[in-house]
């Protein structure tokens, strides 16, 4: 079930971004405070990459992601990476540690116990959140028709369905 949701999100994101021109992908959107669709796509990709990179040694650190501007500027690279990530997400659940720092002054690192499935859920929800922003950007720069539930959380979809009945 979780795998189906992940596939759906990745397929929606890939198909929608794939319809944009290179210029639309890198356009600084006024409605996104000057951010581009590419920047949001890069962010989604890099969080999933952080999880994939941390899986083998058991420590995930989203703060130390690469921030590769090629992903936000090269639509074809982003599409290729989205497909690679989607193909590699069906890993066995295992315990992980989340390495992070929330204290800007000291930079003190903390380790939080987690697991692969929990981090997949976090990344999925995070991707949906950014897809909502990507939707705003796509609507500003193009007439690409997006799926009705693009960037909408599953709980919101269920709530809307209940209200419609």
pLDDT tens-place string over residues 46-74: 999 999 999 999 999 999 999 999 999 99
pTM of the model as a whole = 0.92
Instruction: Mark the ranges of the chain whose per-residue pLDDT is less than 50.
Output: none
Q: According to the model, what pLDDT value does residue 16 have?
A: 97
pLDDT of residue 108: 87
Structure-token match 């999925």, residue found: 124
Query: Given this model, what pLDDT does residue 157 score?
Result: 81
Determine the pLDDT at residue 71: 98
Q: Please name the residue that has the structure tokens 């690279």.
A: 77
What local confidence, expressed as pLDDT, does residue 138 receive? Answer: 98
- All structural domains of the chain, each given as residue ranges with its CATH number in brackets, are 2-164 (1.20.120)
The 3-class SS string of the chain reads: CHHHHHHHHHHHHHHHHHCCCHHHHHCCCHHHCCCCHHHHHHHHHHHHHHHHHHHCCCEECCCCCCCCHHHHHCHHHHHHHHHHHHHCCCCCCCEEEEEECCCCCCCCCEEEEEEHHHHHHHHHHHHHHHHHHHHHHHHHHCCCCCCCCCCCCHHHHHHHHHHHC
Residue pair 95/112 in contact (Cβ under 8 Å)? The answer is: no
Residue-level pLDDT at 54:
97
Average per-residue pLDDT for the chain: 94
* Spatial distance between the Cα atoms of 122 and 136, rounded to a whole number of angstroms: 22
């Amino acid at each position: 079930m979780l795998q189906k949701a992940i596939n759906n999100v990745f397929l929606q994101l890939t198909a929608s971004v794939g319809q944009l021109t290179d210029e639309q992908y890198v356009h600084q959107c006024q409605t996104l405070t000057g951010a581009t669709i590419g920047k949001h796509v890069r962010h989604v990709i890099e969080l999933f990459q952080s999880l994939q990179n941390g899986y083998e040694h058991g420590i995930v650190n989203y703060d130390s992601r690469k921030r590769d501007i090629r992903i936000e500027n090269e639509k074809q690279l982003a599409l290729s990476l989205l497909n690679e990530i989607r193909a590699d997400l069906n890993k066995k659940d295992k315990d992980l540690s989340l390495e992070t720092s929330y204290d800007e002054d000291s930079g003190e690192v903390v380790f939080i116990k987690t697991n692969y499935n929990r981090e997949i859920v976090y990344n999925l929800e995070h991707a949906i959140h950014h897809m909502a922003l990507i939707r705003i950007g796509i609507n500003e720069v193009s007439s690409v028709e997006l799926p009705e539930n693009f960037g909408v959380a599953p709980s919101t979809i269920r709530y809307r369905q209940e209200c419609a009945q």
